[in-house]
Amino acid sequence: MTTVLVTGGNGQLARSIKANEIENVQFIYYDASELDIYQISQVQSVFKKNKIDYCINCAAYTAVDAAESNQELAFNVNTLGAKNLAIACLEYNVVLIHISTDFVFDGGNIKPYTELDIPNPLSFYGKTKLEGEQFIQSIFDNYFIIRTSWLYSEFGNNFMKTMLRLGKEKKSLSIVNDQIGTPTYAVDLAKVILKIIVTKNSKFGTYHYSNNGETSWFGFAEEIFNQCNNNIELKAIKSEDYPTAAIRPKYSVLNKTKIQQAIEIKIPFWKDSLKVALANSNTQ
């Protein structure tokens, strides 16, 4: 039986994996309180105790703005944590599936980013995620690095759930409309990861995955409320009207051609996946 270690076990991606587990695969989940991936001794202990075939690294410090002031913590988890997992995966012959971000790019492109485009993160969060990727790539070859964008689901804290909450509390909302990207339903990403495992895919490397299409945060919010039949007033604003600690890329749409060919998947349009997520959130 294939055994899969999932770090960051309480996060939305890990919970999306748990909700879609496959037969003949044993999943072992560790949340941050049980496994601090920054502590190499803890990582080694978990790998030694369990005969692991795959490690899905869902553990990350994802508070983009807070990372600007909590730099040590973000670096420890996103950079050194990734390094520690890669070292253990090399030692124990484990395939690492590591989740990264569109925030490794600076947003200067006018067409979707491919895996060959040169990263240039604008935020400290993006910098730590890129350095985590680079450590993995320098340590061994048996990895899938999957960069994704604007992750949301019925689980955890994310933009969709924030909008649903604010839609009940507010009469109007101001949302930025000059940052363009693609919302990604965590369950769709989870299914891609699970397909890699069940097919024993060995086309290792760095990949991009998001849902299809593109929109702004304003467009994302507008679609959430449209699908919920909520007539809240939405105001489109510029990023400069909503200052944040971290600078975000103005354009971070990802090109998915490589992963479509390597994993042989169909990628849903973001509005279709949002419909599924909203239906599932109503059953939570």
Which residues 6+ apart lie within 8 Å of 64 measured at CB? 103, 123, 125, 244, 246, 248
Tell me, what's the pLDDT at 242?
Answer: 87
Q: At what angle do helices 40-49 and 81-92 cross, to 10 degrees?
A: 30
CATH code given to domain 2-158+182-211+252-268: 3.40.50.720
Tell me, what's the pLDDT at 284?
Answer: 57
DSSP 68: G
Which of 161-179 are b and which e, b meaning 16 or more Cβ less than 10 Å from the residue's Cβ?
Answer: bebbeebeeeeebebbbeb
Tell me, what's the pLDDT at 281?
Answer: 87
Residue 6: CB atoms within 10 A of its CB come to: 24
Which residues 6+ apart lie within 8 Å of 258 measured at CB? 114, 115, 207, 208
Tell me, what's the pLDDT at 283?
Answer: 62
Residues 46-84 have pLDDT tens digits of 999 999 999 999 999 999 999 999 999 999 999 999 999
Rounded distance between C-alpha atoms, residue 98 and residue 86, angstroms:
9
Rounded distance between C-alpha atoms, residue 70 and residue 206, angstroms:
27
Residue of 29, 125, 143, 209 marked active site: 125
Tell me, what's the pLDDT at 127?
Answer: 99
CB 20 within 8 A of CB 193: no
Judge residue 93's burial from the number of C-beta atoms within 10 Å of its C-beta, 0-12 exposed, 13-18 middle, 19 or more buried: exposed
Judge residue 126's burial from the number of C-beta atoms within 10 Å of its C-beta, 0-12 exposed, 13-18 middle, 19 or more buried: buried
Rounded distance between C-alpha atoms, residue 74 and residue 168, angstroms:
33
| pLDDT in single tens digits along all 284 residues of the chain | 999 999 999 999 999 999 999 999 999 999 999 999 999 999 999 999 999 999 999 999 999 999 999 999 999 999 999 999 999 999 999 999 999 999 999 999 999 999 999 999 999 999 999 999 999 999 999 999 999 999 999 998 999 999 999 999 999 999 999 999 999 999 999 999 999 999 999 999 999 999 999 999 999 999 999 999 999 999 999 999 989 999 999 999 999 999 999 999 999 999 999 999 999 987 65
Tell me, what's the pLDDT at 227?
Answer: 96
Domain ranges of the chain: 2-158+182-211+252-268
Q: What stretches of 112-254 adopt beta strand conformation (E)?
A: 143-148, 151-152, 172-176, 180-181, 184-185, 205-208, 215-216, 233-237
Which residues 6+ apart lie within 8 Å of 281 measured at CB? 154, 160, 161, 164
Rounded distance between C-alpha atoms, residue 238 and residue 232, angstroms:
19
Tell me, what's the pLDDT at 282?
Answer: 75
Instruction: Give catalytic status of residue 242 as yes or no.
Output: no
Rounded distance between C-alpha atoms, residue 120 and residue 224, angstroms:
31
